[in-house]
A = this chain, B = another copy of it.
Amino acid sequence: MRRPGLSGRGNPLRQTDGSPEKNDLALILSERECSAAAVYTLNRVKAAPIYVTMDHLEKGVAWGIVANSGNANACCPMSHENAEAMCLFAAQATGREAEDFAVASSGIIGQTINIQAVQTGVPKAAAALSREGSGGAATAIMTTDSVPKEVAVSLTLGGKEVKIGAIAKGSGMIHPNMGTLLAFITTDCAITPGVLEEAIREVSSKTFNRVTIDGETSPGDMAIVLANGMAGNEQIEWKDEDYNTFCQALAHVCRHLSRAIAGDGEGAGRLVTCRVAGARSEESAERLAKTVVSSALVKAAMFGADANWGRVLVAMGYSKAPFRPEHVDMSFESAAGSVLVCKQGDGLAFDEALAKKILSEKEVVIAVDLNEGGEQAECWGCDLTYDYVRINGDYRT
């Protein structure tokens, strides 16, 4: 689906810090000023682009985003100046002001970004801007991602068609509840900055913040949403019915990206979903599910397609969420079927061959029922593989 009024395009700039084959610069530009909101990493070590973007989005408006991959632009003496320079280059190439741009960087920490390469690249990216999709930008922001992540949906608000499109990158240094990852969401919805910010916070907490790859939070994580109003819907100014409809669509987009990021975690062989139901609160269900998909031992068992439910129960046990182990039922589920492995906290005899088959699928679900209430939550992660170790044993050099 096209994203009217908003364009993103990768640029054939030669890679400065990674593979020479890869585009590494993305520019996203709106035809009009947008309501703009973002959520940022909670890591105490923040990359310079985080501070610059916070500053530029303070008024709640923006025109575009400039982003690079391969270098995090963090922990170098010139990081802040270079992040500001990226916005300036984007402004010069598009006839705007530096303050009209958000900036994001992802990659190696502590090495100075090749700002000359960015300076050369931005005008080329600007010249190549297109309304025909965001594939170029989705590719340009990839680091160790194996596939680009894109999604678009349309919805109807007051008889007007509204579109939401988004790209994201993930792969490593990803953990929920501390920040997010890199996600750029654009829409032609008319919505005020304040309400847009509430929407992205609310939706992130139930989507991006429920992904974990490795328990690590990057200093450059952020999710930005730009809304330029060109759909012509009556502007959303309150948390009314239109807001709810918009949030549902936004959640669909963010959930899609979250699952794509989890399934494409560094070295991942499968998408692992943990769904905790029967909880007394959504918060405790979320904490339990997150701890399970974060557990190195659960992740390693998922790599081995091993129905080692004891590790799931143990991970729940150290999550600090309240539950009664002796009430817990647990199954493993996938396209290949479902097998109940634990009832009221005790192990059952089960068909090991079937369990192996179920856990050998590309997408598997660890389904836990606490049998204590009506709330539930699901979180997404991936298995822990030899490739995760290989990729991260020598990422830098």
Which residues from chain A sit less than 8 Å from chain B, CB to CB?
42-46, 72, 74-77, 108-111, 172-173, 175, 178, 214-219, 294-297, 300-301, 303-304, 306-311, 313-319, 323, 325, 342, 345-347, 352, 384-386, 388-397
Task: Knowing A42-B318, A110-B342, A347-B75, say if A214 contacts B297 (CB, 8 Å).
Answer: yes
Give the residues in chain B near A296, CB-CB below 8 Å: 214-216, 296, 388, 392
Please give the count of copies of this chain that the complex contains.
2
Query: Are A43 and B314 in contact, CB atoms less than 8 angstroms apart?
Result: yes
Give the residues in chain B near A395, CB-CB below 8 Å: 300-301, 306, 308
**In the assembly, what is the distance between CA of A397 and CA of B309, in Å?**
12
Query: Are A385 and B389 in contact, CB atoms less than 8 angstroms apart?
Result: yes
Q: In the complex, how many angstroms separate the beta carbon of A370 from the nearest chain B beta carbon? A: 12
Closest to A74 in B: B310
**In the assembly, what is the distance between CA of A345 and CA of B44, in Å?**
12
Task: Knowing A310-B109, A347-B76, say if A297 contacts B172 (CB, 8 Å).
Answer: yes
Closest to A110 in B: B347
Q: In the complex, how many angstroms separate the beta carbon of A28 from the nearest chain B beta carbon? A: 26
Give the residues in chain B near A306, CB-CB below 8 Å: 393-397
**In the assembly, what is the distance between CA of A317 and CA of B214, in Å?**
15
**In the assembly, what is the distance between CA of A174 and CA of B156, in Å?**
52
Going nearest first, the 5 A-B pairs with the smallest beta carbon separation are: A109-B310, A45-B317, A304-B393, A300-B392, A110-B347
**In the assembly, what is the distance between CA of A200 and CA of B219, in Å?**
39
Give the residues in chain B near A300, CB-CB below 8 Å: 388-389, 391-393, 395
Give the residues in chain B near A303, CB-CB below 8 Å: 389, 393
Kindly identify which residue among B45, B308, B323, B386 contacts A389, using a CB–CB cutoff of 8 Å: B386
Query: Are A297 and B392 in contact, CB atoms less than 8 angstroms apart?
Result: yes
Kindly identify which residue among B75, B215, B307 contacts A345, using a CB–CB cutoff of 8 Å: B75
Query: Are B346 and A392 in contact, CB atoms less than 8 angstroms apart?
Result: no
Query: Are B394 and A314 in contact, CB atoms less than 8 angstroms apart?
Result: no
**In the assembly, what is the distance between CA of A347 and CA of B108, in Å?**
12
Query: Are B44 and A316 in contact, CB atoms less than 8 angstroms apart?
Result: yes
Closest to A79 in B: B346
Task: Knowing A347-B76, A397-B352, say if A318 contacts B111 (CB, 8 Å).
Answer: no
Q: In the complex, how many angstroms separate the beta carbon of A312 from the nearest chain B beta carbon? A: 10
**In the assembly, what is the distance between CA of A216 and CA of B308, in Å?**
14
Task: Knowing A75-B310, A109-B310, say if A396 contacts B301 (CB, 8 Å).
Answer: yes
Q: In the complex, how many angstroms separate the beta carbon of A347 from the nearest chain B beta carbon? A: 4
Q: Identify 20 residue pairs between A and B in the complex whose beta-carbon atoms are under 8 Å apart, listed by A's number.
A: A44-B317, A44-B318, A45-B317, A75-B310, A75-B313, A110-B309, A110-B310, A178-B318, A215-B215, A216-B315, A219-B314, A219-B317, A296-B392, A297-B392, A300-B391, A300-B393, A301-B395, A386-B390, A388-B389, A389-B389
**In the assembly, what is the distance between CA of A303 and CA of B396, in Å?**
13
Give the residues in chain B near A345, CB-CB below 8 Å: 75
Closest to A387 in B: B389
A44-B318, A301-B393, A306-B395 known; 8 other A-B pairs, CB under 8 Å?
A: A44-B325, A108-B310, A110-B313, A111-B347, A300-B391, A304-B393, A384-B392, A386-B390
Q: In the complex, how many angstroms separate the beta carbon of A356 from the nearest chain B beta carbon? A: 9
**In the assembly, what is the distance between CA of A89 and CA of B319, in Å?**
35
Give the residues in chain B near A315, CB-CB below 8 Å: 216
Q: In the complex, how many angstroms separate the beta carbon of A340 from the nearest chain B beta carbon? A: 13
